[in-house]
Amino acid sequence: MRAVLPWAVAATAIVALPFTFPGGGTITILNQMAITITFALSYNMLLGQGGMLSFGHAVYMGLGGYGAVHLMRWIETDGLSIPLPLVPLAGAFVGLAFAALVGLISLRRAGTTFAMISLGVAELVVASAVIMVTIFGGEGGISADRTMGPRVFGSQWFTAAEVYWLIAGWAFVSALLMYLFTQTPAGRAANAVRDNAQRAAFLGISPARTRFVSFCASGVFAGIAGALLAINLEIVTDEALGLQTSGEILLVTFLGGVGHFAGPVLGAIAFTLVKTVIGLETPFWGLYTGALFVVLVMFAPRGLAGIIADHLDAVRRGQLGKLMVPYLLVTCSGLAALLGAIGLLELAFHLREAGIGKTALTLFWTGMDAAHPLPWVAFATLGVAGCVLCYRSLPTLRARLAEVRTP
């Protein structure tokens, strides 16, 4: 039951979410979330399970997307009778092929050397994408029509809701397969090499061969994520290969928690919500995400999943009630400081970018004038008071946490 229950809950959520939050915008966010989850879990196979830090993992997702979009174009132009649900297999094949090629070259070294090689490969592929226009389409990318293939159960994939079931199904199956991989001897060997490669070699485990297997498996699922991206957007550009995408997935994985399988899932959900929901309200969503990442690395290096895991023992022993008041004080004061800082930043940006006489804005569902001193004073007071109260509440919270964590 402990092994099956999380997957049953995940399957139930996949089925229930489109009906709980209907609407085209919500379906679009769910599609992006499922793709990011698949991509983040594939990256965690390298970093979390195998200890391989890669700065160019987006290459395998991007190449998988290009492989899928070319197959969709062949279905459209040549009349290939391949249904759309099988297109992600093309992305998996391309991701596997390129991961095997790069792995043969780069996995003889680990640590910083491997990270620098991955960065160089990423730069090489991105530069090639601009030059090789026939394959990559240049800066404009390559587009295809996902509706040209044969019908499957009467679906022609015209709407985002129809595409959701395809993407969510592939994301669920991919996540399950990646979890099962961690339970295999190859997955356990990757953990051993990550923890101590020299001792693993002494026990007869080849570090290079073990890393190669994990690297190829990660390339397969990164290619699937790229194919799902191509199906969702019906276009793939060189942005999917770029260093920004690789940096984002690194942030997502650390945000959720590298040491836990569910960590990248939590990080992908949080990052997608920040990027889509908050991104529609303010252009500073990247700044807020970066600040959240810095705070988590400083105070909770194990990520969101680590925070949850740290409190499970307190829940089992019935001591979570001791943390309620300190957490309430720190949360309220921290939220006040955050709102104050966001308010000052948004006021300054609006006052700088707005035209003459257009100083009115709506912030936190409240209309205000950026040129009037009252909003500035209110947000500054809120921010300073929140910082002071949070600073004074933190020692109490740390003492209670130490008391609860002590057996």
Which two three-digit tokens encode residue 211? Answer: 């890393």
User: Strands 366-369, 360-363: parallel, antiparallel or unpaired by DSSP?
Assistant: antiparallel
Higher pLDDT, 401 or 269: 269
Query: What is the separation, in whole angstroms, between the first and last Cα of the chain?
Result: 27
pTM across the whole model: 0.88
Confidence class of residue 171 from pLDDT cuts 50, 70 and 90? Answer: very high
Which two three-digit tokens encode residue 302? Answer: 């194990």
Which two three-digit tokens encode residue 170? Answer: 């592939």
Q: Tell me, what's the pLDDT at 228? A: 95
CA atoms within 13 A on the CB side of 75: 23
Q: Is the pLDDT of residue 355 over 70?
A: no
Q: Is the pLDDT of residue 79 over 80?
A: no
Helix 285-299 and helix 263-276: axis angle, to 10°?
A: 150
Helix 263-276 and helix 24-47: axis angle, to 10°?
A: 140
**Angle of CA points 35, 40, 41, to nearest 5°:** 100
Q: Tell me, what's the pLDDT at 312? A: 79
Buried b (16+ CB within 10 A) or exposed e, 41-61: bbbbbbbbbbbbbbbbbbbbb
Q: Tell me, what's the pLDDT at 220? A: 96
Average of per-residue pLDDT across 115-120: 89
Q: Flag the least confident range among 182-186, 198-202, 333-337, 363-367.
A: 363-367
Where is 223: in which H helix or E strand?
Answer: helix 207-233
Asked if 165 contacts 189 with a C-beta cutoff of 8 angstroms, the reply is: no
In tens, the pLDDT along 52-78 reads 888 989 999 999 999 999 999 998 888
Q: Flag the least confident range among 104-108, 184-188, 277-281, 373-377.
A: 277-281
In tens, the pLDDT along 216-239 reads 999 999 999 999 999 999 899 888
Average of per-residue pLDDT across 316-345: 85
